[in-house]
Chain A
Amino acid sequence: MIYLDNAATSFPKPEETIDSVHHFLTFSGGNPGRGGHPLSIDAARIVFEAREGLSSFINGKRSERLIFTQNGTESLNLAILGLIGEGDHVVTTALEHNSVMRPLDFLTKTRHVQVSVVPCSPAGSLDLKALKKAVSRRTKAVVVNHGSNILGTVQPLDGVREAIGDRLLILDACQTIGNVPIDVQKDAIDVICFSCHKALFGIQGLGAVYLREGVDPIPLKFGGTGSNSEFTEQPTALPDRYESGTPATPAIAGLLGGLKFIERKGLKEIVGKKRAATERVLEGLQRIPGIRVYGEMERGDRSLPIVLMNVDNREPSEVGYACNRADISVRVGLHCAPMAHRNLGTFPGGGVRISPGYFTRDDEIDRLMEVMRTIAAR
């Protein structure tokens, strides 16, 4: 089987990830922060180490402001629903995923929030002049897709910050975390939301959000935290304020393993290998008549291992099915980003997304090209 859907979730996982999850399930297994017995404390130490490691990975100033969630979507929901109030104005971009657009749609209907959508070029670059124009004194927050999950385009954070001034920046970094260096202090990111099972090599069931000091959303959920148990009032201390209920400790252990893998290999080597695989895909596809590739053909330092394509006169689903039959996993359709596909002109059919990962081999890409040549020649 050839797996080329790493933008959905990375696969296979490194040994460090598997070993870390296995070790937790075999030897630790307790509920972190719930009771003072050794297995609970061991589990809490795993959560603590992962939180410190992940906060350090993005240069967070205070690790307790790194909040674990179920996934990137929950992180974005916490930020958007917890910070944007009645009648507020929000600016966002034409490349957003439904994990941004659906909570914003909910707010337009329930809190009379006004949303301005800034256009992007067909190649996926955000119109920074239009962004600057869209922001006004009454803008409460600007929600920006850092890296497109369909085109692989990465937006320049310095340009975004310059355009929005001191407005609250909520960054969707689900695709960029682990693919592009991120420094929440240097990049002046107020809230960053991401998942941990893609380029961080964790397992599914874990996301995170980092809140700059002074940014305090209303919690998305309330309940037991293992702290301040004598009071029914939700604790104010972080991270407990936002982490009610038993966490996904096996997934947090997996993240710790993923971070160890990144540390061992080095982010530069990991990103370089994925970039080389992406270039091989781009070069190969461009040589096949009847295939259209979207986005930038020349990928710079700030692009993601994502390629979107279509075959002339073929539905993406047909291409996907042909790939399935050849034992190749690609992702077809709208990729939960209908507005981005509208912007690109590929709505409602969508496209075929190829996203190589660190473990993708050259011969696997060559096999994909053989299959694509056959499909395009039919």
Chain B
Amino acid sequence: MPHDRVYYLLFATIHDVLKAEKRLKSAGVNMEVVPVPRSLSSDCGVCIKSSEPMQVLVGFLGDTAGLRCFTFKGTEYREEEVSGSE
């Protein structure tokens, strides 16, 4: 597992962020709700930050409509393709 990486999950609404938080917490995933990094969006909202692999995170979510995933490594963010379930 590449622990030097951090993953950010961005959603269309805070409702979706908190729904994801509920699912991930109930699955025992180590994660945090944090402000959206400025370099990802100029939005004033929040997103989910976790060091768990992105595929694991997305697998727990079920609904991936409107979801955007980013990997942070070193000093760079890279958007990942989301291959979700719905």
- B17-50 at interface with A (beta carbon < 8 Å): 18-19, 22, 33-36, 41-46
Question: Across the interface, do B46 and A41 meet the contact criterion of CB distance under 8 Å?
Answer: yes
Question: Across the interface, do A48 and B18 meet the contact criterion of CB distance under 8 Å?
Answer: yes
Segment at the interface with B among A16-24, A198-206, A236-244, A335-343? A236-244
Question: Across the interface, do A228 and B15 meet the contact criterion of CB distance under 8 Å?
Answer: no
The distance in angstroms between the C-alpha atoms of A230 and B36, with both chains bound, is: 13
Knowing A64-B15, A64-B16, A239-B15, the reply to whether A34 touches B66 (Cβ < 8 A) is no
Interface residue? A226 (CB, 8 A)? yes
Interface residue? A292 (CB, 8 A)? no
The distance in angstroms between the C-alpha atoms of A52 and B35, with both chains bound, is: 23
CB of A52 to closest CB in B, whole Å: 8
Question: Across the interface, do B13 and A240 meet the contact criterion of CB distance under 8 Å?
Answer: yes
Question: Across the interface, do A45 and B13 meet the contact criterion of CB distance under 8 Å?
Answer: no
Knowing A41-B33, A41-B46, A237-B66, the reply to whether A32 touches B14 (Cβ < 8 A) is yes
Q: Which of these, A33, A52, A230, contacts B14 with CB under 8 Å?
A: A33
Question: Across the interface, do B13 and A227 meet the contact criterion of CB distance under 8 Å?
Answer: yes
**How big is the A interface, by class?**
20 to 34
Question: Across the interface, do A36 and B19 meet the contact criterion of CB distance under 8 Å?
Answer: no
Q: Which of these, B12, B16, B33, B35, contacts A228 with CB under 8 Å?
A: B12
Question: Across the interface, do B14 and A44 meet the contact criterion of CB distance under 8 Å?
Answer: yes
Question: Across the interface, do A45 and B43 meet the contact criterion of CB distance under 8 Å?
Answer: no
The distance in angstroms between the C-alpha atoms of A8 and B26, with both chains bound, is: 40
CB of A119 to closest CB in B, whole Å: 42
Question: CB-defined interface of B42-74 with A at 8 Å, one 1/0 digit per residue?
Answer: 111110000000000000000000100000000
How many residues of chain B get a CB closer than 8 Å to chain A's CBs?
A: 19
Contacts of A32 on B, CB cut-off 8 Å?
A: 14
What is the total of A-B residue contacts with beta carbons within 8 Å?
66
CB of B55 to closest CB in A, whole Å: 24
The distance in angstroms between the C-alpha atoms of A34 and B22, with both chains bound, is: 20
Chain B minimum-CB-distance residue to A241: B13
Question: Across the interface, do A36 and B45 meet the contact criterion of CB distance under 8 Å?
Answer: yes
The distance in angstroms between the C-alpha atoms of A31 and B12, with both chains bound, is: 18
- A182-197 at interface with B (beta carbon < 8 Å): none
Interface residue? A360 (CB, 8 A)? no
Question: Across the interface, do B13 and A230 meet the contact criterion of CB distance under 8 Å?
Answer: no
Knowing A64-B13, A240-B13, the reply to whether A36 touches B35 (Cβ < 8 A) is yes
Question: Across the interface, do A227 and B12 meet the contact criterion of CB distance under 8 Å?
Answer: yes
The distance in angstroms between the C-alpha atoms of A239 and B34, with both chains bound, is: 21
Question: CB-defined interface of A239-258 with B at 8 Å, one 1/0 digit per residue?
Answer: 11000000000000000000
Question: Across the interface, do B36 and A36 meet the contact criterion of CB distance under 8 Å?
Answer: yes
Contacts of A237 on B, CB cut-off 8 Å?
A: 12-13, 16, 66
Question: Across the interface, do A33 and B45 meet the contact criterion of CB distance under 8 Å?
Answer: yes
Contacts of B43 on A, CB cut-off 8 Å?
A: 227-230
The distance in angstroms between the C-alpha atoms of A340 and B43, with both chains bound, is: 49
The distance in angstroms between the C-alpha atoms of A35 and B66, with both chains bound, is: 20
Q: Which of these, A52, A63, A226, contacts B45 with CB under 8 Å?
A: A226
The distance in angstroms between the C-alpha atoms of A229 and B38, with both chains bound, is: 12
CB of A168 to closest CB in B, whole Å: 24
The distance in angstroms between the C-alpha atoms of A331 and B22, with both chains bound, is: 44
The distance in angstroms between the C-alpha atoms of A102 and B81, with both chains bound, is: 50
CB of B49 to closest CB in A, whole Å: 11
Contacts of B18 on A, CB cut-off 8 Å?
A: 44-45, 48
The distance in angstroms between the C-alpha atoms of A68 and B36, with both chains bound, is: 25
Contacts of B42 on A, CB cut-off 8 Å?
A: 229-230
Knowing A33-B45, A34-B44, A36-B46, the reply to whether A226 touches B14 (Cβ < 8 A) is yes
CB of B46 to closest CB in A, whole Å: 4
CB of B11 to closest CB in A, whole Å: 8
Contacts of A52 on B, CB cut-off 8 Å?
A: 19
Interface residue? A53 (CB, 8 A)? no
The distance in angstroms between the C-alpha atoms of A37 and B45, with both chains bound, is: 10
Chain B minimum-CB-distance residue to A240: B13
Residues of A whose CB lies within 8 Å of any CB of B are 32-37, 41, 44-45, 47-48, 51-52, 63-64, 225-230, 235, 237-240
Residues of B whose CB lies within 8 Å of any CB of A are 12-16, 18-19, 22, 33-36, 41-46, 66
- 4 pairs of A and B residues whose beta carbons are closest in the complex: A36-B35, A237-B12, A48-B18, A33-B14
5 A–B contact pairs at CB < 8 A? A36-B46, A64-B15, A226-B44, A240-B13, A240-B15
